[in-house]
């Protein structure tokens, strides 16, 4: 007798190849007695045959709308825009609790249909830390792009990056960077702030995989408060710190204007240009895979990368890692009165009660 029916819906956000459930994760759920339904998808980094091989049920893309009412709909990114009532329990990143665009309309659909939302962003442990996150691969991918941009700067390529596509796996990415670095006589030095966090560890691991010099900064190195002049003496600076209170900025335009600056690439993995706590107050917009670099300084070149979906560069590894973290909690869905589920449900109800 099956425990719970989990229905993996196909992602519809353009170019989103990541998934919340890998074939390996589907197998673990099925082995534990869960029923797993997977929508066929041309975007999912894992081919549908891999899910079929572990005895998951395959169905058409978008058919979750007609799924049995007891099915729990699992996804990653936003639902397709529509207005029909939502009757199921959903697990995904809804981006609705901070009053983002369309939040009232979305929560109204849940309220009308009687459905419930367990937002992935708010599945947290007792210390209020997310139980599953893409941070490591955000840092890894951000560092990778910074090195590729730096190499192209040295070769006077403008813009240094454009029209980025995802890689089939980490090794293909590393091979690409190695080939690029081999064209030069020198290699860049990186400085990572937030090196002990999830994304910081990813950035440091990328540097070490390529045998690049990397300065690892965290609380001890930053306790004196910014701006930090040491930043301008690295070739590449990678910010992996998510600030949630007022602090002096890590860098300023005045600091970057110094003639002794060697820094030519900045990557803001934390990527919060719109918040008042932005530790890099030198830009006001995110960049994209199509146009990854924002040129901050033209005379003595300085480019900034601030992409808010960096893990999409490596959809295979990031999906496997995230799915493994999430799986522990999916396996408890037969009793949603325990674990991460009650807090997430209570937050959903409090937010829907405001509309």
Model pLDDT for residues 121-137, shown as the tens digit of each residue: 999 999 999 999 999 99
CA 259-265-266 angle, 5° bins: 105
Residues 114, 160, single domain; the answer is no
Residues 237, 323, single domain; the answer is no
Count the domains in the chain.
2
Residues 148, 216, single domain; the answer is yes
Angle, helices 198-209 vs 135-154, to 10°: value is: 40
pTM, 2 dp: 0.94
Residue 11: give its domain's CATH number: 3.40.50.720
Residues 237, 287, single domain; the answer is yes
At residue 58, what are phi and psi to the nearest 5 degrees?
Answer: -100, 135
Closest listed residue to residue 15, CA positions, set 285, 313, 287, 338:
313
Distance CA 10, CA 63 (A): 9
Distance CA 73, CA 37 (A): 9
Residues 260, 201, single domain; the answer is yes
Residues 343, 299, single domain; the answer is no
Residues 304, 332, single domain; the answer is no
The strand pair at 35-39 and 302-305 is best described as unpaired
Residues 226, 325, single domain; the answer is no
Q: Give the burial string for 291-323 (b: 16+ CB within 10 Å, else e).
A: ebbbebbeeeebbbbbbebbbbbbbbbbbbbbb
**Per-residue confidence in pLDDT tens, the chain, 355 aa:** 458 999 999 999 988 999 999 999 999 999 999 999 999 999 999 999 999 999 999 999 999 999 999 999 999 999 999 999 999 999 999 999 988 989 999 999 999 999 999 999 999 999 999 999 999 999 999 999 999 999 999 999 999 999 999 999 999 999 999 999 999 999 999 999 999 999 999 999 999 999 999 999 999 999 999 999 999 999 999 999 988 788 899 999 999 999 999 999 999 999 988 877 889 999 999 999 999 999 999 999 999 999 999 999 999 999 999 999 999 999 999 999 999 999 999 999 999 999 8
Distance CA 57, CA 37 (A): 5
Closest listed residue to residue 246, CA positions, set 270, 272, 275:
275
User: What per-residue confidence (pLDDT) applies to 247?
Assistant: 85
Give the active site residues. 77, 95
- Is residue 75 a contact partner of residue 101, using CB atoms and an 8 Å limit? no
User: What per-residue confidence (pLDDT) applies to 101?
Assistant: 87
CB atoms < 10 A from the CB of 259, how many? 5
Distance CA 233, CA 96 (A): 40
Residues 296, 161, single domain; the answer is yes
Residues 218, 340, single domain; the answer is no
User: What per-residue confidence (pLDDT) applies to 2?
Assistant: 52
Q: What is the DSSP letter of 233?
A: G
Residues 242, 325, single domain; the answer is no
Q: Which domain holds residue 182?
A: 135-308
Helical (H) or strand (E) element with 193: strand 189-193
Alpha helices in the chain (DSSP H): 23-31, 48-52, 103-113, 135-154, 170-181, 198-209, 219-222, 253-256, 315-330, 341-352
Distance CA 3, CA 335 (A): 10
Residues 123, 266, single domain; the answer is no
């Amino acid at each position: 007798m099956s425990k719970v029916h989990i229905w993996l819906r196909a992602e519809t956000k353009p170019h989103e190849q990541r998934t919340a459930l890998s074939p390996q994760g589907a197998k673990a759920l099925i082995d534990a007695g869960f029923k797993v339904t997977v929508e066929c998808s041309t975007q999912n980094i894992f081919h549908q045959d891999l899910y079929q091989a572990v005895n998951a049920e395959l169905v058409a893309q978008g058919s979750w709308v007609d799924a049995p009412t007891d099915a729990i709909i699992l996804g990653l990114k936003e639902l397709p825009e529509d207005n029909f009532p939502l009757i199921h329990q959903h697990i995904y990143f809804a981006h609705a609790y901070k009053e983002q665009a369309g939040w009232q309309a979305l929560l109204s659909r849940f309220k009308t249909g009687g459905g419930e939302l367990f937002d992935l962003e708010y599945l947290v442990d007792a210390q209020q830390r997310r139980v599953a996150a893409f941070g490591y691969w955000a840092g890894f991918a951000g560092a990778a792009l910074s090195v590729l941009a730096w190499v192209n700067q040295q070769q006077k390529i403008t813009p240094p990056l454009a029209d980025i596509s995802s890689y089939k796996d980490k090794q293909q990415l590393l091979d690409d960077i190695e080939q690029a670095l081999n064209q030069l006589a020198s290699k860049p030095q990186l400085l990572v702030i937030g090196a002990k966090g999830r994304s910081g560890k990813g950035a440091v691991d990328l540097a070490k995989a390529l045998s690049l010099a990397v300065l690892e900064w965290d609380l001890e190195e930053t306790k004196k408060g910014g701006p930090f002049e040491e930043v301008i003496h690295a070739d590449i600076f990678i910010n992996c710190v998510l600030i949630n209170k007022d602090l002096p900025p890590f860098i300023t335009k005045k600091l970057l204007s110094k003639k002794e600056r060697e820094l030519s690439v900045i990557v803001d993995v934390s990527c919060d240009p719109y918040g008042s706590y932005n530790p890099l107050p030198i830009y006001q917009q995110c960049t994209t895979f199509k146009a990854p670099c924002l040129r901050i300084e033209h005379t003595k070149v300085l480019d900034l990368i601030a992409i808010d979906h960096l893990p999409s560069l490596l959809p295979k590894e990031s999906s496997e890692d995230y799915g493994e973290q999430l799986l522990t909690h999916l396996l408890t869905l037969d009793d949603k009165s325990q674990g991460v589920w009650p807090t997430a449900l209570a937050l959903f109800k409090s937010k829907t009660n405001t509309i």
